[in-house]
Amino acid sequence: MFFIDTLDLEGLGNRSYLAGGARTAVAVDPPRDIDQVLAAAARRGVRISHVVETHVHNDYVSGGQDLARLTGAAHHVPAAARVSFARTPVRDGDTFTVDEGITLRALATPGHTPHHTSYVLEEEGAAVAVFTGGSLLIGTVGRPDLVEPRLTEELARAQHASAHRLAAELPDDTEVLPTHGFGSFCSSAQADGDATTIGKEKSGNDALVQDVDAFVAALLAGLDDVPAYYAHMGPTNAAGPAPVDLTAPPVADAADIAARLAAGEWVVDLRNRIAFAQGHVAGSFNFEADGKLATYLAWLIPWGKPVTLLAESPEQLAKAQRELARVGIDRPAAAATGDPAEWIAAHAELRSFPRATFADLAAPDPGGHRIVLDVRRDSERADGWIEDSVHIPVHELHRRQGELPAGVVWVHCAGGMRAGIAASLLDAAGRDVVAVDDSFDAARSAGLPVVAGPGSQS
pLDDT given at position 435: 98
> Residue 134: what pLDDT?
96
Q: Does the pTM of the predicted model rise above 0.75?
A: yes
Interval 353-374 mean pLDDT? 92
pLDDT tens profile 183-241: 888 887 777 678 999 999 999 999 999 999 999 999 999 998 999 999 999 999 999 99
- Mean pLDDT of all residues in 30-47: 97
The pLDDT confidence band at residue 455, using thresholds 50, 70 and 90, is: low
Average pLDDT, integer, range 113-123: 98
Model confidence at 3, pLDDT cuts 50, 70, 90, reads very high
CATH superfamily placement of domain 355-451: Rhodanese-like domain (3.40.250.10)
Question: In this predicted structure, what is the pLDDT of residue 105?
Answer: 98
Domain boundaries, the chain: 3-239, 254-343, 355-451
Q: Whole-number mean pLDDT of the chain?
A: 95
For the cut 80, the answer to whether the pLDDT of residue 99 exceeds it is yes
pLDDT tens digits for 311-321? 999 999 999 99
pLDDT of the residue at 454: 78
What is the band of 182 on the pLDDT scale with cuts at 50, 70, 90?
confident
The amino acid at residue 189 is A
Query: Is residue 457 predicted with pLDDT exceeding 70?
Result: no
| CATH fold match for the domains 254-343 and 355-451 | yes
Q: Which whole number is the average pLDDT over 71-95?
A: 97
Question: Pick the residue with more confidence: 456 or 145?
Answer: 145
pLDDT tens by residue, 61-70 = 999 999 999 9
Give me the long-range contacts of 439-446 (CB less than 8 A, separation at least 24). 439/414, 439/415, 440/358, 440/376, 440/412, 440/413, 440/414, 440/415, 442/357, 442/358, 442/359, 443/358, 443/361, 443/386, 443/412, 446/357, 446/358, 446/359, 446/361, 446/362
Q: What is the pLDDT of residue 184?
A: 85
Assess whether pLDDT exceeds 50 at residue 458: no
When pLDDT is cut at 50, 70 and 90, the band that residue 369 belongs to is confident
SS3 labels along the chain: CCEEEEEEECCCCEEEEEEECCCEEEEECCECCCHHHHHHHHHHCCEEEEEECCCCCCCCCECHHHHHHHHCCEEEEECCCCCCCCCEEECCCCEEEEECCEEEEEEECCCCCCCCEEEEEEECCEEEEEEEECCECCCCEECCCCCCHHHHHHHHHHHHHHHHHHHHHCCCCCEEEECCCCCCCCECCCCCCCCCEHHHHHHHCHHHHCCHHHHHHHHHHCCCCCCCCHHHHHHHHHHCCCCCCCCCCCECCHHHHHHHHHCCCEEEECCCHHHHHHCECCCCEECCCCCCHHHHHHHHCCCCCCEEEEECCHHHHHHHHHHHHCCCCCCCCEEEECCHHHHCCCCCCCECCCEECHHHHHCCCCCCCEEEEECCCHHHHCCCEECCCEECCHHHHHHHHHHCCCCEEEEECCCCHHHHHHHHHHHHCCCCEEEECCCCCHHHHCCCCEECCCCCCC
Q: What homologous superfamily is domain 3-239 in, according to CATH?
A: Ribonuclease Z/Hydroxyacylglutathione hydrolase-like (3.60.15.10)
* Whole-number pLDDT of residue 10: 81
Instruction: Over range 164-182, report the average pLDDT.
Output: 96
Q: What percent of the chain has pLDDT over 70?
A: 99
Q: Judge: domain 254-343, CATH 3.40.250.10.
A: yes
What local confidence, expressed as pLDDT, does residue 32 receive? 95
> Could you read off the pLDDT of 424-450 as tens digits, one per residue?
999 999 999 999 999 999 999 999 999
Average pLDDT over residues 20-33: 97
The confidence band for 144, taking pLDDT boundaries of 50, 70 and 90, is very high
Q: Are 420 and 273 in contact, with CB atoms under 8 Å apart? A: yes
Residue 78 has pLDDT above 90, yes or no: yes
pLDDT higher than 80, residue 126: yes
pLDDT in tens, 266-307: 999 999 999 999 999 999 999 999 888 999 999 999 999 999
> SS in 3 state form for 266-329?
EEEECCCHHHHHHCECCCCEECCCCCCHHHHHHHHCCCCCCEEEEECCHHHHHHHHHHHHCCCC
